[in-house]
Amino acid sequence: MIFSCRQRSGLLFALLCGVFLCGSCHALPQQNSPADPPADAQAAAADEKAENPFPRAVEIPAGIMDGGAGWMNTARPLSLEDLRGKVVLLDFWTYCCINCMHILPDLKYLEEKYADQLVVIGVHSAKFDNEKDSDAIRQAMMRYEIHHPVVNDNEMLIWRKFGVRAWPTVALIDPQGRFCGSQSGEGHRELLDAVIGRLVDYHRQQGTLDETPLMFRQDADAQQPTALRYPGKICLDTSGSRVFITDSNHHRIIVAGLDGSLQGVIGSGREGYRDGGFAEAEFSRPQGTVLIGDTLYVADTENHMIRSISLADQQVATLAGTGLQGRPGMPPAATLRETDLNSPWSLAHYNGVLYIAMAGPHQIWSHQLGTQQIGVYAGSGREDVVNGALATSAFAQPSEIIVDAAGEFLYLVDSEGSSIRRVPTNPDGEVTTIAGTSELPRGQSLFAFGDQDGVGADARFQHPLGIALADGALIVADSYNHKLRRINAETSEVTTIAGDGQAGSELEPLRFSEPGGLAFSDGVLWVADTNNHRILKISMATGAAEEFTVNGLQPPVVVPRAALPDPADAILVTAQLRKQAEQLELYIDPRIPEGFKLNADFPTMWSLFALDEQTLVAPEWLNSRRPAELTAEGQLKITLPLTGQQGGAVFVLEASYGYCDQGDQGLCRQANAHWKIPVSIADEGTVEPIRLLFPAPVLPLQIDLPE
């Protein structure tokens, strides 16, 4: 059974039971077999009315989404009443949680597949104190590129109204504003896809589905480009006088001299997976790196891979991982490239062994370089802070791992447990906790956080993400406290050495914003000050801090890819140009409905595709999304430079714009259209622009609940 039946105090509806079971839902279509009905019988069945997949769904009380401390990615607070006619998926999450990160690709997949029918709303119900702040949530949303609206449920009021018990949990609302059920955990993409598809089919046939696309203001649009974007980790190569910076949200690695000179950029800046030369390689939010000889190994976190970079050959290759997220308890595969990994976050090396902080399954993995074996070194997979033998110990989202100079111990930050751990490189040794709590009953260590200096178990951290060894002491990036802490390796005494607990960017007094990674050499501590998009250098002798600038480093220029719409549905328009024409101009009348207006927050975007080989337009103008110019007359203008070549081509032009209620706080909807345009260039052509007309935008449905 996928859902459990339970009632909770104050809840005016009951959870459905069993509605997602295969026995109570239609199977997906299969290829014809001798047992299949004939084609005419299948066609007749397709004409029948779809069955309501949630006949016992019940109405949600008005105002159930009230109580949040602020909304992001929307011009105004939303209610479920605003979204009648849409399938609504509520995602209860907290941004520290690796499991919450894991379902973001599933939500993105569903949002793209059901772009006109589904609205996802994030309900951020914080675990850590720092996560209750709306600005901190907004930073996390931009770091993970969340585009749907999010409400800050900092008092967990909405959480309690829906009876949620775990992160992540999703709740499903039908187009008539009725609650269908909820599901916790990750790995439910296929289940949600099937259920949402059934809801869409049913309500489309009932006429209660509003398929007018909605548009929401994006907080990220107000952000200015920066040379670094949420840098995660730092690796120092003092013998080579260089530093490697994981420019995580630019999906690349920066190589710089210790003097600030730019020595190389590894990765195109486009998120994805691609091996090859530095300019074309692709990563997905990489984190920790380690240099072994002339090879840089990278924890390619959201690709679930370990990548190897030959600095001499300037080539990126894949060492381990399939690109699929591994699941706990999966048997080991025969080779590195056949093994599914799960959010590798940091790397350390000693004596030919690569140690991996595998954040997803809460374990430490290892790989003997030169072999095909990779697997669990320490950690049972249970998310907790438990000491003891390697196999029975437990970790909670390890996020940075280092090795001491003698190679006897690994030190790591256990982020969700807010503890600092020590792991022996001798497999017969035992895991211990240096500072922070451990061994508390029933996972209570996951909630034993705070901001307190002290000795060992008396000290408190809040989701630390970075650790380094500095002159015999451990330095910890206490990320959610916005501090640096020092731990005496012999006495386990914890003291604060920088930061006052407030997020900020000042150098005097020194403040950080969720610092993520550390490195130390020659008396200088290097800090990846993640939310401030900068690297800091701090003198351990004087405490003086300065920003490390990489001279000439620019943010990558990445034009978003666009998907070809169905040419068969396109409006046909022809164009014949004279051969001396240098450009093709197109003007589009958007046809704004009465009572609505264009909104500058939603620029008109267009994409051009060629259906066959062509030479009329340079390739860089194809298959990407670009903004259109708005003329004084209210038309949308697109200018396409031509190459000067003669001949013909068939293009598909797609355009979209947002139209909003006249009120400043109104909801915005999206109009889309695409045209098929055969273009020829010859002596007898014209140079007149092409004038196009949007189809009349569809007004939103008025959806009423049945009596």
At residue 274 the predicted structure's pLDDT band, cuts being 50, 70 and 90, is very high
Residue partners of 260: CB distance under 8 A and separation at least 6: 548, 549, 550, 551
d(C-alpha 539, C-alpha 524), whole Å: 5
Q: What is the pLDDT confidence band of residue 40, given thresholds at 50, 70 and 90?
A: very low
Write the secondary structure of 122-179 as one string of H (helix), E (strand) and C (coil). EEECCCCHHHHCHHHHHHHHHHCCCCCCEEECCCCHHHHHCCCCCCCEEEEECCCCEE
Rounded distance, CA 473 to CA 523, Å? 12
* Calpha distance 128→645 (Å, rounded): 61
What pLDDT does residue 45 have?
41
Per-residue pLDDT, 579 = 74
DSSP string, 345-389: EEEEEETTEEEEEETTTTEEEEEETTSS-EEEEE--S-BS-B-EE
What pTM, to 2 d.p., does this model score? 0.86
Which is nearest to 300 in space by CA: 369, 359, 363? Answer: 359
379 vs 700 pLDDT, higher one: 379
Q: Please compute the mean of the pLDDT values over residues 14-38 and round it to a whole number.
A: 29
Let me know the angle formed at the C-alpha of 416 by 411 and 417, rounded to the nearest 5 degrees. 65
Mean pLDDT of 368-397: 96
- Cα gap 172→564, rounded to integer Å: 30
Q: Is the pLDDT of residue 15 over 60?
A: no
Q: Which amino acid is at 416?
A: E
- Is residue 679's pLDDT more than 80? yes
In this prediction, residue 5 has a pLDDT band, given cuts at 50, 70 and 90, of: very low
Rounded Cα–Cα distance for residues 25 and 28 (Å) = 9
Q: Which helix (H) or strand (E) holds 247?
A: strand 242-247
pLDDT at site 69: 94
Confidence at 38, pLDDT banded by 50, 70, 90:
very low
d(CA 707, CA 705): 7
Res. 71: pLDDT tops 70: yes
Please, which residues have CB within 8 angstroms of residue 323's CB and are 6 or more apart in sequence? 273, 303, 304, 305
Of 225, 223, 240, whose CA–CA distance to 291 is shortest?
Answer: 240
Classify burial at 155, counting beta carbons within 10 Å of its beta carbon; exposed 0-12, middle 13-18, buried 19 or more.
middle
Q: pLDDT per residue over 646-656, tens digit each?
A: 888 999 999 98
Q: Binning pLDDT at 50, 70 and 90, where does residue 14 land?
A: very low
Residue 559, pLDDT score: 77
CA 502 vs CA 339, 539, 608: distances in Å: 42, 21, 47
Q: What is the pLDDT of residue 16?
A: 33
Mean pLDDT of all residues belonging to the chain: 88
